[in-house]
A and B are shown apart, each in its own frame.
Chain A
Amino acid sequence: MKTINLHQLEKILYHVEKPGRYVGGEHNQVLKDWESIQTCVCLVFPDIYDIGQPNLGLAILYDILNKQPDILAERSFAPWHDLEARLRQDHIPLFSLESKHPLSDFDVIGISLPYESLYTNALNVLDLAGIPLLATQRTEAHPLIIAGGQACFNPEPMADFIDAFVIGEAEEVALELLGSFEECKRSKVSKQETLLKLSQIPGVYVPSLYDIIYAQGGSITRIIPAMQDVPPFVIKRIVPILPPHPTHLIVPNIETVHDRLSIEIMRGCTRGCRFCHAGIVNRPVRQRPVSEILQIIEDGLASTGYEEIGLLSLSSSDHTQILELTRAVYEKFHDRRIFVSLPSLRIASFSVELMDELRDLRPGGGFTLAPEAASPRMQAIINKPLDNTVIEETVRMIFEHGWLSLKLYYMIGLPGETLEDVQAIVDAGKRVLAIGRQIRGNRVRVHLSVGNFIPKPHTPFQWYPLNSMDELQTKLDLLKTGVYRTGIKLSYNIPETTLLEAWLSRGDRRLGRVIHRAWQLGAKFDAWGENDNMPFWRQAFTDCGLDPDFYAYRQRAVEETLPWDHIHTGVTKKHLLRELEFSQAGKTSPDCRQQCYACGILNTFGDKRPVSPLVYWGCP
């Protein structure tokens, strides 16, 4: 177990951009002794340090694993192009930041896959580490390759490369998995046997233990366990109560995308927006009590020295004690010279009141709201109904209370959307700008940020096709024309990048070959719109004899076996279908804290439900 040649590395670091990305040594980094530790885990976030390091999931796992006396966890990120070229040229394997050990020296590599555009980077990281990409080509001598994160609710496209996936929340299952792995390692059982053992742990999915049977047309007939004792489906893991939050967070030495103390105040969302993947896969709602959050802030500030905190959740205004929280945060921390950001606020005057409670702790900058759809018809379809007077009242209040800039998130390409619905986005922007100008004059800025809808697995919209590139382009053109010379800023995604995300999020196991081929052709950093990898991807589909349209543009029949059907989120297909029907009938389903729709969560996890009212679950 030797580290890489440090002298050689240092020489290279003189010649790359931001070498601080690759050296570690940050405050609160954990460096353990390799000689005395049983299980060595490298946590990989397959994007550059600047983007990966602030990821809270990574921080949570780093904390949990390093608290174990017999486990060490280190970090590694995707090197930027300049370092990659040097590493390849000098035959230096990719290494961990803490101890500079090559990745291949670790027992386990845990790859974080929160979104699909990291897939080629994940392959690149393994390749830079000199580890065979295909799980079938790896032996007991190689590290076990684990992946987890929100994208893994459809693990199939990455099934060829990953030994085992963690489905759902990793806090508990990560330790069970590593424990079981360590036992297998000690008793020197084969990799095959180890994997079978791991597949017995609830929430662990071992893709090599399943056979996929395809029909003539390419759709799936059945997904079946390849061996006895392998569970027919895998139910995601949840933690009934949010575990203690990490406070000794690593403080990056270089600037990162979210350079602040991030605190998860609530997990899950009860709103039931029908397009929303996070809203389904993160059920049930669990929140932290105010007293706990205040203590996390206190300890976190003392341990990091951060000047900004972010109170994170999917829908902050829905935390039942949010007003109490903002008041207490101001009361307790207003003389600490910190800023407090509270993103994900609902469109309601209450949200503005919440921000007002923070007074001078609010970071500068604009207010952000996410109506997602502008016409009442579309709002009903996606189940995010908004009363026009409420929007106008909220917007008015935002400008009256001192903000000069307002950002509004919308989506285009939603099911059943017409050009009138798209025009409604422009009209909404204009109305908001008019209100702003009336109150604050010409200094007011309105920013429409428009994303392209992708029908995501496990949502009520999972059967829908993606809008064609032409449709999306027509809608974008309408928006661009609409805001021309209005003073409204418009930002949007290029339709092609949406297409890639659609293939990867909706794909089946056969896409593994396409990902592999696209990577061979040069695709990486797919999340970075700047380098256009689309020709590589199209070539890869051709080379693999697969039709990309099959994955993106096909209306899937409700009786079809979907590639992710053996991965259970706890929400039943029956519930998704009912929501789909409601959507098609223009019917909304109000917040499920008022009324239970029997989505399946309580059936699946009801026995775990805590009795204490302090750790409130959203379910009625």
Chain B
Amino acid sequence: MNAEPIRVRVTYAKHGNLRFIGHLDLQRLFERALRRTNLPLRYTQGFSPHLRLNLASALPLGFIGIAEQMDFWLDEQLPLEEISARLWAALPAELILKDLRFVSNQSPSLQASLLSSDYEVILPMEIDPSDLQGKLAALLARDTIPVQRRKKSVDLKSLILDCGISGIPAKPVMTISMKSTPLENGRPDELLTLLSMDPADCVITRTKLNFLEE
């Protein structure tokens, strides 16, 4: 194997039908899409080599992502334009390539440097923003906001970094910023449920991933 692999960082959007594809399935989808590019892909070494691929963070089922990130590695340097063109051609229509750049092999992994995620939630039309504002303020005023995840209790309050309601009546939008580290991961749908809304009635978009400054 030649020496230094080339690390490529992809920023992409996931929407439409692909919202209903889970994290592991997305990983496999990317693997096959990358194989279709015919790029000189880097594989892990060892007994059962597999494609070197690294997704920043699992996007919950049903969410739209407009700035998701992924790293993959090549065995040799190629112009970004060529990589981009081949990837465009290989990706399904509902995965949109937004940005592509080379990253140093020394920089930490996406998962390790991810701090938080920003979400935008389009709320159901019938929601009264000022009423919701009140409910939200009351909720956030609490010392702890325990939520149940499987058999574990998690304090949602410590995961919410910022939260606000904007938008005009009849088109209310909520913006949420939450921790997204491997140990502490906020789920905006849990917050919506606590505010007596069905997440299925909302359109939830992850708008940004915030990483540790390099």
Determine the chain B residues whose CB is within 8 A of the CB of A26 once the complex forms. Answer: 92
User: A401 near B: Cβ within 8 Å?
Assistant: no
Closest A-B pairs by Cβ, 6 of them: A25-B17, A305-B32, A305-B35, A23-B17, A14-B200, A19-B20
Closest to B32 in A: A305
Q: How many A-B residue pairs have CB under 8 A?
A: 67
- Contact B200–A11 (Cβ < 8 Å): yes
Stretch among A248-256, A349-357, A405-413 lining the B interface: A248-256
B94 contacts partner chain A, Cβ-Cβ < 8 Å: yes
Assuming A20-B25, A337-B49, is B94 touching A25 (CB within 8 A)?
Answer: yes
B28 CB within 8 Å of chain A: yes
Query: Is the pair A253, B21 in contact by a Cβ cutoff of 8 Å?
Result: yes
Q: In the complex where A25-B94, A255-B28 touch, is A19 in contact with B18 (Cβ < 8 A)?
A: no
B31: CB under 8 A from chain A? yes
- Asked if A15 CB lies within 8 Å of chain B CBs, one says yes
Q: A20-B21, A253-B18, A337-B49 are in contact. Are A302 and B31 (CB under 8 A)?
A: no
A203, CB-defined interface residue at 8 Å: no
Q: CB of B172 within 8 A of chain A?
A: no
Shortest Cβ gap from B41 to chain A (Å): 9
Q: Which residue of A lies closest to B24 (CB)?
A: A255
Contacts of A10 in B (CB 8 A): 62, 200
Instruction: Give chain B's interface residues, CB within 8 Å of chain A.
Output: 16-18, 20-22, 25, 28-29, 31-36, 38, 43, 48-49, 61-62, 90, 92-94, 199-201
Asked if B29 and A253 sit within 8 Å, CB to CB, the answer is yes
* A25 lies within 8 A of B16 (CB): yes
A25 to B18, CA, bound (A): 7
Which of A19, A304, A337 is the one whose CB lies under 8 Å from B36? Answer: A304
List the B side residues contacting A547 at CB < 8 Å.
Answer: none
Kindly supply a per-residue 1/0 record for chain A positions 1-17, scoring 1 wherever the CB is within 8 Å of any chain B CB and 0 otherwise: 00000000011011100
Output the nearest chain B residue to A301 by Cβ-Cβ distance: B35
**Chain B residue contacts of A251, Cβ below 8 A:** 29, 32
A303 at the interface (CB under 8 A from B): yes
What is the predominant secondary structure among interface residues of chain B facing chain A?
helix
User: What is the distance, in angstroms, from B9's C-beta to the closest C-beta of chain A?
Assistant: 21
A38, B38: Cα distance in complex, Å: 38
14 contacts between A and B (CB under 8 A): A13-B20, A14-B199, A15-B200, A19-B61, A19-B62, A22-B20, A23-B17, A23-B20, A27-B29, A303-B36, A304-B36, A306-B32, A306-B35, A337-B49
> What are the residues of chain A within 8 A of B20 when measuring CB–CB?
13, 19-20, 22-23
A234-263 contacts to B (CB < 8 Å): 251, 253-255
Q: Could you tell me the distance between the alpha carbons of A133 and B28 in the complex, rounded to whole angstroms?
A: 39
A507 at the interface (CB under 8 A from B): no
**Shortest beta-carbon distance from B18 to chain A in Å:** 6
Closest to B28 in A: A255
User: Footprint of B on A, CB under 8 Å?
Assistant: 10-11, 13-15, 19-20, 22-27, 251, 253-255, 301-307, 337, 364
Most buried by B among A19, A26, A253: A253
CB distance from B96 to the nearest CB of A (A): 13
Please give, as numbers and ranges, the residues of chain B lying within 8 Å of A27 by CB-CB distance: 29, 32-33, 36, 92
Q: Are A337 and B43 in contact (CB under 8 A)?
A: yes
Give the docked Cα–Cα distance between A316 and B194 (Å).
59
Contact indicator B36/A25 (Cβ below 8 Å): no
Query: Inside 8 A of A19's CB, which chain B residues have their CB?
Result: 20, 61-62
Residue from B31, B35, B93, B94 whose CB has the most chain A CB atoms within 10 Å:
B35
A13 touches B36 (CB 8 A): no
Chain A residues with CB under 8 A of B61: 14, 19
State the Cβ distance, B1 to closest chain A Cβ, in Å: 13
For B28, what are the chain A residues with a Cβ–Cβ distance below 8 Å? Answer: 255
Closest to B92 in A: A27
Question: B201 to chain A: which residues have CB within 8 Å?
Answer: 11
New contact pairs (10) apart from A22-B20, A24-B17, A25-B17, CB-CB < 8 Å: A13-B20, A14-B62, A19-B61, A20-B22, A25-B92, A25-B93, A27-B92, A253-B25, A254-B21, A307-B35
In the bound assembly, the distance between CA atoms of A11 and B197 in angstroms comes to 13
Complex CA distance for A285 and B98, rounded to whole angstroms: 51
B36 touches A302 (CB 8 A): yes
- The distance from the CB of B38 to the nearest CB of chain A, in whole angstroms, is 7
Partner of B25, one of A15, A24, A255, A305: A255
Cβ contact within 8 Å between B200 and A305: no
Complex interface: chain A residues within 8 A of B34 (CB)? 305
CA A13 – CA B199 in complex, angstroms? 12
Task: Name the residue in A25, A26, A254 with the highest tally of chain B Cβ atoms < 10 Å from its Cβ.
Answer: A25
Report Cα–Cα, A26/B36, bound state, in Å.
Answer: 14
Nearest neighbor of B61 in chain A, beta-carbon distance: A19
- Contact partners of A302 in chain B: CB under 8 A: 36, 38
Q: How far is the CA of A11 from the CA of B200 in the complex (A)?
A: 5
| Nearest A residue (CB) for B18 | A25
Contacts of A364 in B (CB 8 A): 48
Nearest CB of chain B from residue A114's CB, rounded to whole Å? 26
Residues of chain B with a CB closer than 8 A to A304's CB: 32, 36
Contacts of B200 in A (CB 8 A): 10-11, 14-15
- Cβ contacts under 8 Å, A11 to chain B: 200-201
Is B25 within 8 A of A254, CB to CB?
yes
Q: With CB as the reference atom, state the residue of chain B lying closest to A303.
A: B36
Closest to B91 in A: A27
User: What distance in Å separates the Cβ of B109 from its nearest Cβ neighbour in chain A?
Assistant: 23
Least Cβ distance of A404 to chain B in Å? 15
Instruction: Report the minimal beta-carbon distance from B103 to chain A, rounded to whole angstroms.
Output: 24
A13 touching B94 in the complex, CB below 8 Å, given contacts A302-B38, A304-B32, A305-B33: no
Across the interface, name the chain B residue whose C-beta is closest to A251. B32
Q: CB-CB < 8 A to B93: which residues of A?
A: 25
Residues of chain B contacted by A13 (CB below 8 angstroms):
20, 62
Residues of A within 8 A of B31 (CB): 305, 307
Q: Do the beta carbons of A305 and B62 come within 8 Å of each other? A: no
Q: A4 to nearest B CB, angstroms?
A: 14
B190 CB to closest chain A CB, in angstroms? Answer: 14
A254 to B, closest residue via Cβ = B25
Q: How far is the CB of A74 from chain B (nearest CB, A)?
A: 14
**Nearest chain A CB to B163's CB is how many angstroms away?**
22
A11–B28 CA distance with the chains assembled, in angstroms: 26
Shortest Cβ distance from residue A617 to the other chain B in the assembled complex, whole angstroms: 36
User: With A and B bound together, what is the CA distance between A254 and B199 in angstroms?
Assistant: 23
| Bound-complex Cα distance A303 to B43 (A) | 20
Q: How far, in Å, is B84 (CB) from chain A's closest CB?
A: 18
Bound-state Cα–Cα, A22 to B16, Å = 13
Chain A contacts of B90 at CB under 8 A? 305
Residues of B within 8 A of A255 (CB): 25, 28
Distance in Å: Cβ of A301 to nearest Cβ of chain B: 8
Chain A residues within 8 Å of B48, by CB: 364
CB distance from B129 to the nearest CB of A (A): 22
What's the minimum C-beta distance from A592 to chain B, rounded to whole angstroms? 41
CB nearest neighbor in B for A28:
B92
- Chain A residues with CB under 8 Å of B18's CB are 25, 253
Chain A nearest Cβ from B94, distance in angstroms = 6
- Would you give the shortest CB distance from B26 to chain A, in whole angstroms? 8
- Closest CB in chain B relative to A276 CB, distance in Å: 35
Complex: how many Å from CA A304 to CA B21?
18
Residues of B within 8 A of A337 (CB): 43, 49
Determine the chain A residues whose CB is within 8 A of the CB of B25 once the complex forms: 20, 253-255
A25 CA to B19 CA in the complex, in Å? 11
**Distance A15 CA – B61 CA, assembled complex (angstroms):** 10
B92 near A305 (CB under 8 angstroms)? no
- What's the nearest-Cβ distance from chain B to residue A403, in Å? 16
